[in-house]
Chains A and B, each alone.
Chain A
Amino acid sequence: MKPLQLIFDVPTRWNSAYAMCERGVYLRKAIDMYVIQQSYRHLQISPQEWKRVEFILDVLEPFKRCSDRMEGTKRPGIEKVFWIYETLFNELDRLEDVMEESNGRDAEWIKELQPAFEVMRTKLTKYYDKTAIPSVYGDGMILAPRLKLYLTTRLEWSGGQMGEYSGAGYSASCRKRYIEQYEKIAPQSQPMTTIWKRPYSAIDDDDFEQMVSSLPTDATINEYDGYINAPRIIEKGVHLLDIWKTYTGAAYPHLGLMARSVFAVSVTGAGVERQFSKSGKVEIRSRARIDPITTTQIMMYSDMLKRKKRALGMSQVVIGVGDYETEANEEEPPAEWRNDWFRSRKNKRNLM
């Protein structure tokens, strides 16, 4: 096992306060021991204060989880946005309940957090209100075959059951956009992947084929309506985009186009920013006139090298890859951290 260091929180690093508290609580006994041994009286953290740290940890934990959830850039996240806001607001509600119900000695210090919760709620509300205008959020939710409109039927849905922000409202506007923008585009037909020994038409008899193609088409039924009324996909662990790949081949070629453009929207800038911090010092003072395209290429190339775990073969000095920032949590976390030791503990605690 690797020895662990305590973590500092840095204002500019996301979730670093959480990281500090978590490691502090994790190493609590060790820290206490150390402080007593070194006789740093001024640094002694009383059990009461540890309780505070744990409470902060408890407050920050859902935020950290949501933040982690969205950080990945490999898969679309647009369909999760509403749900994440919902989760966070529910979390705030729960914390306020905890605060109100707390009594005795805990009540005093928990009450200190009242203004902090309010500030947090205001901030979240401010950005949540902004999600009302862009249509992508609603479309993303509807076009996720495992969600559709089912999220809006839940009780916690803040848009109400009627009006623009209800499920019906989102559905109507999504349908309108589909008809306006995507229905008329001719989808590219996808080639059949199966390779037959003999060509298809040769085996089957022509009369049957003729009869099938003479049948009336269902062109009157809108693809969107068909999609919305079809049963929700309940299979677990299927990638959203994989579902759409099969859909576009068969049932909803037009709607597939819409899904493609909706799920291309990234909800987070984290990936891009990470790329910048990973690629290190590309544009430095001594290379002030570097071309943007060259910058891109250097970044891409150094990223590729890092992925393949290779250095530039020219010399020991790797150009452009130089002293990039190391991540705080680069070391492999202990097994119980990966298994969410804190969460399993949380349930047992009577404070909550």
Chain B
Amino acid sequence: MSKLMKFLSKRLRKRGVIWSAEENYISCLNHVINLAVQDFLKAIKGLPSVEDETPPLAEKEDDDNEDDDEEEDSEIDDDEDDKEGDEELLVDLAAVEAEDEYNDVEDDFAGTLKKLRGIAKVCDVANKVTFSTPWNHFCLLQLLWSKLTGRKPIQVQFKRNYSNEHVYSTK
């Protein structure tokens, strides 16, 4: 029984109100559910550790729709050398940094969740990669591919690989 409720009950009794702390203790159901879920995650060690440095969710960049991407692209085209170099460097750094961390990832739930988190991290830190509908995503990937390798986007065989069955199957 929480201290606050006991205190409140005592205070009220002094004023002549009979108010039972136990009878009136309604715990927040959402919190209960959350506690259970947290326990579950803790048991499978699925909670993010402090070192994971999860960026706050509040940091959300503006909506980047396709127009933005195109703009970005054109910008990059303008001053190719600088931007491309930066981007590549960033990606490499993130990848290298991560690799040490994930060497000893075990084959269990915690490891899987950690990997998922790692991917999110790389996507976020390195490129602000976003995934979306098949077509949009396809474009994005292609863009990225051409940016990173300096090659022209590969057209056909990619598309087959890419075709996001999962997205389609949900319809």
Contact = CB atoms under 8 A, between A and B. Distances in A.
Interface string B158-171: 00011111110111
A341 B170 contact: yes
14 contacts: A8-B117, A17-B41, A17-B47, A34-B123, A34-B129, A35-B119, A109-B108, A116-B39, A116-B44, A119-B43, A265-B26, A267-B26, A325-B58, A328-B57
Interface of A: 1-11, 13-18, 20-21, 24-31, 33-35, 37-38, 40, 42-45, 49, 52-53, 56, 59-60, 63, 66-67, 70-71, 77, 81, 84, 88, 109, 112-113, 115-117, 119-120, 122-124, 127, 130, 133-136, 265-270, 325-326, 328, 330-331, 336, 341, 344-345
A20 B117 contact: yes
A66 B35 CA distance: 13
B73 interface: no
Given A29-B166, A31-B131, A45 B91 contact: no
A40 B95 contact: yes
B141 A33 contact: yes
A17 B43 CA distance: 14
Contact of A17 (B27, B37, B39): B37
Contacts of A341: 170
A134 B23 contact: yes
Interface in B80-123: 91, 95, 98-99, 102-103, 105, 107-109, 111-113, 115-123
A133 B39 contact: no
Contacts of B132: 1-4
Contacts of A71: 30
B44 A112 contact: yes
Contacts of B115: 42-45, 49
A341 B121 CA distance: 26
Contacts of B169: 345
B112 A52 contact: yes
Contacts, number: 236
A270 B108 CA distance: 33
Given A10-B48, A11-B38, A70 B23 contact: no
Interface of B: 22-44, 46-48, 54-58, 60, 63-65, 91, 95, 98-99, 102-103, 105, 107-109, 111-113, 115-124, 128-133, 136-137, 140-141, 144-145, 148, 161-167, 169-171
Given A11-B38, A11-B48, A345-B170, A45 B116 contact: yes
A67 B36 contact: no
A120 B38 CA distance: 9
Nearest to A272: B28
Given A37-B141, A43-B98, A134-B24, A10 B30 contact: no
